[in-house]
Amino acid sequence: MELEKDKTTIVLFSGDLDKAIAAFIIANGAAAYDHEVTIFFTFWGLNALRRDEPIKTNKGLLEKAFGWMMPRGAKKLGLSKMNFGGLGPQMIKHVMKKHKALSLPELVELAQEQGVKLVACTMTMDLLGLKQEELIDGLEYAGVAAYLGDAANGKVNLFI
Amino acid sequence: MELEKDKTTIVLFSGDLDKAIAAFIIANGAAAYDHEVTIFFTFWGLNALRRDEPIKTNKGLLEKAFGWMMPRGAKKLGLSKMNFGGLGPQMIKHVMKKHKALSLPELVELAQEQGVKLVACTMTMDLLGLKQEELIDGLEYAGVAAYLGDAANGKVNLFI
Amino acid sequence: MELEKDKTTIVLFSGDLDKAIAAFIIANGAAAYDHEVTIFFTFWGLNALRRDEPIKTNKGLLEKAFGWMMPRGAKKLGLSKMNFGGLGPQMIKHVMKKHKALSLPELVELAQEQGVKLVACTMTMDLLGLKQEELIDGLEYAGVAAYLGDAANGKVNLFI
């Protein structure tokens, strides 16, 4: 008989570098404690999952505009505070490297290795015109119903 | 014997359109799954519940100033990101309409139809000088103790 | 036989005055209801725990820069909305005083009197170069693992 694992869910709504880092540190920590962990990426949070390189897609003008204006991937996110036109993120990345803390792209990779379920919110993708080919590999695609199914059984449920 | 329903609570602290939409989508989703749902509106979150039209009230100068500076109702909220002086909210509303997603005022209405309990934080109302007649109908009025009573029995408790 | 108490945990990530106030009001409320309460201060949230006065420490330049740029203590925090270069916080403090609501420093003191566990995130301290002697007395020091241990048993877990 298999024991039921503890479950942790995080909604990552924010597209800020610092909040994404916090989300992944908690998620990776919980996975290390053998929790079943889901991060549900919605609204600006989806930007953390975008590929670095521009992807050719067939989009309308407004969707293209969203695509241009939003940061493309984990390396491009700004800070929620003290962004200073991009200087803040550089400072944070510098001290993280100095302290041998994992960068956000490394945290994402570790999460995937540990089996953290990364779920892209399909409703947001529709609204902002984001296509699956613009996002990194290894994601699941679902809506709020799937999130609620996980969260109803979660011991720790956070909105970040 | 009646079965106890799952409970979901959301503190809506933020006055941002995008966060309010996220809160109501989760709340309406949970209500559709037959959860008992409470949204507790505190600080800037209360702005989502203000009536569109100016209401004549007897207020001090500072409370009037808060009233002028804060957005009046669900149609007037800004975005947490890419607000661009009000252009961002227009873009979001446009794509939501195009995709036939419910607008925030419609999400509020649906929540009330589904029996989601909308609670206005009385302490915030005192502080910011908001009167009951300035808020939409069908609200409950309570403080942090009532919120904690609900949250202690909640399966999903979020702070947005 | 001692009854197990309900547990509440809050991650205070934000360095905004209004969010810190909300966190402490919820924490103090939960403590008054005899919950075991933990606030885990991470990232900008740590600024609420800094001492008012500058503390002489032996730091590198970048850490000094972070120290200068970040608000020093609960009295110096800005608002998440309507900060208006510091006018907003003055307005909020004014109305809180007028309504005899506790100020943030008083809320922190009350939390400590009620036995709320205030935990400073050691990883953030390392990254931002914050030293224990720069923070107020009566704190615990721990990492994400300790937080998760508390949260896994928490009835109410919030990220603010």
The percentage of residues in chain B with a pLDDT greater than 70, rounded to a whole number, is 98
The stretch A90-119 carries a mean pLDDT of 95
Which site among A14, A144, A150, A160 would you substitute to test the B interface, given the most B Cβ atoms closer than 10 Å to its Cβ?
A144
- Among chain B residues, the shortest Cα distance to C11 is held by B159
H helix or E strand, kind and range, residue A69: helix A61-69
- The neighbours of chain C, by the rule of 3 or more Cβ pairs under 8 Å, are A, B
Are A99 and C127 an interchain contact pair (Cβ–Cβ within 8 Å)?
yes
Which residue ranges form the domains of chain C, and what is each CATH number? 7-159 (3.40.1260.10)
Structural contact between residues A43 and A37, judged by C-beta atoms closer than 8 angstroms: no
| Whole-number pLDDT of residue B2 | 61
The percentage of residues in chain C with a pLDDT greater than 90, rounded to a whole number, is 76
| Residue A157 pLDDT exceeds 70 | yes
Where is pLDDT greater, at C91 or A35?
Answer: A35
What is the rounded CA–CA span in Å between residue A53 and residue A71? 11
Among A129, A144, A151, beta carbon nearest to B25: A144
In the numeric block, which tokens belong to residue B52? 């569109």
Are A91 and C129 an interchain contact pair (Cβ–Cβ within 8 Å)?
no
| Whole-number pLDDT of residue B63 | 87
Q: What is the ipTM of this complex?
A: 0.93
| Residue C3 pLDDT exceeds 80 | no
| Residue A1 pLDDT exceeds 60 | no
Among C33, C35, C99, beta carbon nearest to B127: C99
| Residue B82 pLDDT exceeds 90 | no
The stretch B125-139 carries a mean pLDDT of 95
DSSP code, position B60 = -
Which site among C16, C144, C150 would you substitute to test the A interface, given the most A Cβ atoms closer than 10 Å to its Cβ?
C144
What is the rounded CA–CA span in Å between residue B15 and residue A160? 15
The percentage of residues in chain C with a pLDDT greater than 70, rounded to a whole number, is 98
| Whole-number pLDDT of residue C4 | 82
When pLDDT is cut at 50, 70 and 90, the band that residue A37 belongs to is very high
| Whole-number pLDDT of residue A59 | 87
Are C44 and A99 an interchain contact pair (Cβ–Cβ within 8 Å)?
no
| Residue A128 pLDDT exceeds 70 | yes
Which site among A80, A84, A99, A103 would you substitute to test the C interface, given the most C Cβ atoms closer than 10 Å to its Cβ?
A80
Q: Which of A65-69, A121-125, B147-151, C102-106 has the lowest mean pLDDT?
A: A65-69
Which site among B4, B17, B26 would you substitute to test the A interface, given the most A Cβ atoms closer than 10 Å to its Cβ?
B26
What is the rounded CA–CA span in Å between residue C8 and residue C71? 27
Radius of gyration of chain A (CA): 16
Interface of C with B in 84-143 (CB under 8 A): 91-92, 94-96, 99, 101
In the numeric block, which tokens belong to residue B88? 């961002």
Residue C41: name the closest of C130, C153, C155 by CA. C130
Where is pLDDT greater, at A59 or B19?
Answer: B19
When pLDDT is cut at 50, 70 and 90, the band that residue A86 belongs to is confident
Contact of B159 with chain C, judged by CB distance below 8 Å, is answered with: yes
Q: Which of A82-86, B93-97, B145-149, C96-100 has the lowest mean pLDDT?
A: A82-86
Identity at C30, one-letter amino acid code: A
User: Which runs of E-coded beta strand occur in B42-147?
Assistant: 117-121, 140-142
Distance of CA B38 to the CA centre of its chain: 10
A49 HSE (CA, 13 A, CB side): 33
- Which chain C residues touch A94 with a CB distance below 8 Å? 62
| Whole-number pLDDT of residue C1 | 53
CA angle C23, A20, B90 (to 5 degrees): 85
- Among chain B residues, the shortest Cα distance to C7 is held by B152
Are C148 and A157 an interchain contact pair (Cβ–Cβ within 8 Å)?
no
When pLDDT is cut at 50, 70 and 90, the band that residue B1 belongs to is low
| Whole-number pLDDT of residue A69 | 86
Among C19, C35, C94, beta carbon nearest to B13: C19
- Which chain C residues touch A26 with a CB distance below 8 Å? 11, 144, 147-148
Are B25 and A151 an interchain contact pair (Cβ–Cβ within 8 Å)?
no
List pLDDT tens digits, range C145-160.
999 999 999 999 999 9
